[in-house]
């Protein structure tokens, strides 16, 4: 004798489909987040490497420039040159810190994930 399974009623089948869809959406969003996390990590590493190289090269340039100018003006204006160079270096440092502060204030990590989650929330609000 062949026993056929009872047909699922509409509510249970709908609930299962909704849970399956919700699980797929959550998995998709998690995969997007992890991908963006990997991209942000690589981007941050590349930026840090460039910063280290730039700082080392700039420091060596400034040291050699300072020594060159002091040697050139050793007899007449060594103190004036040292003061002007110090002020110039301080202005450069302040400008770089200001630029870094602005960049960090406008940094939007995981923007694609956040945008997609906002779209998901809007979609669920429209269902109500």
Strands, DSSP E only, in 15-102?
A: none
The Cα-based distances of 120 to 36, 62, 115 in angstroms read: 18, 52, 9
* Per-residue pLDDT tens digits for 50-79: 989 998 998 998 899 888 988 998 888 888
pLDDT digits (tens, 9 = 90+) for 12-25: 888 888 889 888 88
Supply φ then ψ for residue 6, to 5 degrees: -65, 145
Closest CA to 43 of 95, 96, 110: 110
32-43, pLDDT tens digit by residue? Answer: 888 988 988 998
Q: Are 128 and 48 in contact (CB under 8 A)?
A: no
Query: How many other C-beta atoms lie within 10 A of the C-beta of residue 62?
Result: 14
Helix 78-105 and helix 10-72, axial crossing angle in degrees, nearest 10: 170
Q: Is the pTM of this model over 0.75?
A: no
């Amino acid at each position: 004798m062949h026993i056929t399974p009872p047909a699922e009623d509409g509510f249970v089948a709908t609930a299962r489909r909704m849970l399956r869809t919700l699980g797929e959406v959550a998995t998709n969003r998690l995969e997007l987040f992890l991908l963006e996390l990997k991209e942000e990590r690589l981007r941050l590493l590349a930026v840090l490497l460039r910063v280290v190289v730039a700082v080392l090269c700039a420091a060596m340039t400034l040291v050699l420039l300072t020594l060159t100018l002091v040697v050139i003006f050793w007899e007449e204006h060594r103190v004036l040159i040292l003061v002007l160079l110090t002020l110039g270096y301080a202005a450069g440092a302040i400008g770089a810190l200001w630029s870094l502060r602005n960049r960090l204030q406008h940094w939007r990590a995981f923007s694609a994930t956040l945008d997609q989650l906002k779209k998901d929330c809007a979609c669920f609000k429209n269902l109500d």
